[in-house]
């Protein structure tokens, strides 16, 4: 059985690491706020003082971090992963970051004698709990194959996308679409309510036609109730939209809808919704 490390125990990471522990893997955990490790330690996980110790002790180290800044700090910082990786050990960063960050980390880990795989996930809190995430993998093929037993515990599918950077590009494209859809959905609900339509009836009709999808089914009642329990924090969706727009700028690809959605999500953050579910963008529209 593989000896695994896990760095970053937020909404997603804690559920993913718990599934690995419950599946029987030996798991060593670290989080900047140490109290977040306690539930996993109670299940049998092992603590570590810093990312360097995790990377130096474990066959494979997974990371699930908030943004490019956090991903760089955990890799390159004092007592970071880079200081501990060697001997062909694997580092799998499951954070959603840009392809530039991915390739910086990939180069550094490889130069230090490790192997690198990016593996951002598509899915929010409940799929993380259920072990039904979609894991988008790219980078070292041998590390991908070695990681499959862990991926099968955390997700329902884990396609291999090729060279490092491709998974980040795939994830940003997916989340860009999702953010745009949520913005349009919120505008539709706001317009319907403003002109006197019954909200529940509007949702029922939407769910019966070509626009039916799981996100609208789950988030629709939340919009009508004005309650946004967090599955995917709004600030992280805005970060993904920002990174997608930046990718489009680098490639010369116009992204008019995504750029507009990004500005609306920024307004929602200014109004105090950063840590609410990303569906709380409704508050900047309604």
Active site amino acids: 171
- With a CB cutoff of 8 Å and minimum separation 6, the contacts of 200 are 224
Sign of CA dihedral 230, 174, 114, 72: negative
Q: 214-225 vs 166-194: helix axis angle to the nearest 10?
A: 50
The whole-angstrom separation of Cα 62 and Cα 6 is: 5
Q: Are 203 and 182 in contact (CB under 8 A)?
A: no
No. of H helices and E strands in the chain?
13, 10
**Residues 105 and 72 sit within 8 Å (Cβ to Cβ):** yes
Backbone angles phi, psi at 135, to 5 degrees: -105, 120
Total number of residues shown for the chain? 286
């Amino acid at each position: 059985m593989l000896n695994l490390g896990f760095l970053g125990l937020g909404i997603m990471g804690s559920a993913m690491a718990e599934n690995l522990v419950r599946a029987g893997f030996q798991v060593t955990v670290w989080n900047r706020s140490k109290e977040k490790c306690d539930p996993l330690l109670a299940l049998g996980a092992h603590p570590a003082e810093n990312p360097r110790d995790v990377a130096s002790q474990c066959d494979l180290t997974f990371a699930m971090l908030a943004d490019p800044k956090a991903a760089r700090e955990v890799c390159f910082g004092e007592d970071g992963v880079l200081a501990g990786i060697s001997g062909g050990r694997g580092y799998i960063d499951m954070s959603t970051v840009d392809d530039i960050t991915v390739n910086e980390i990939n180069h550094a880990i490889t130069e230090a004698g490790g192997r690198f795989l990016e593996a951002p996930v598509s899915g929010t809190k409940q799929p993380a709990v259920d072990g039904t995430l979609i894991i988008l993998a790219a980078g070292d093929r041998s590390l991908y194959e070695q990681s499959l037993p862990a991926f099968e515990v955390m997700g329902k599918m884990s396609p291999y996308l090729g060279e490092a950077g491709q998974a980040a590009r795939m994830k940003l494209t997916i989340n860009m679409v999702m953010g745009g859809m949520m913005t349009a959905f919120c505008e539709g609900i706001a317009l319907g309510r403003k002109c006197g339509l019954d909200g529940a009836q509007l949702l029922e009709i939407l769910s019966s036609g070509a626009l039916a999808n799981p996100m609208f089914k789950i988030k629709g009642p939340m919009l009508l109730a004005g309650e946004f329990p967090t599955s995917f924090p709004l600030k992280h969706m805005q970060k993904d939209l920002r990174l997608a727009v930046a990718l489009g700028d680098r490639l010369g690809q116009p992204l008019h809808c995504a750029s507009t959605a990004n500005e609306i999500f920024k307004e929602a953050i200014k109004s105090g919704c950063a840590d609410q579910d990303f569906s709380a963008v409704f508050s900047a529209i309604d």
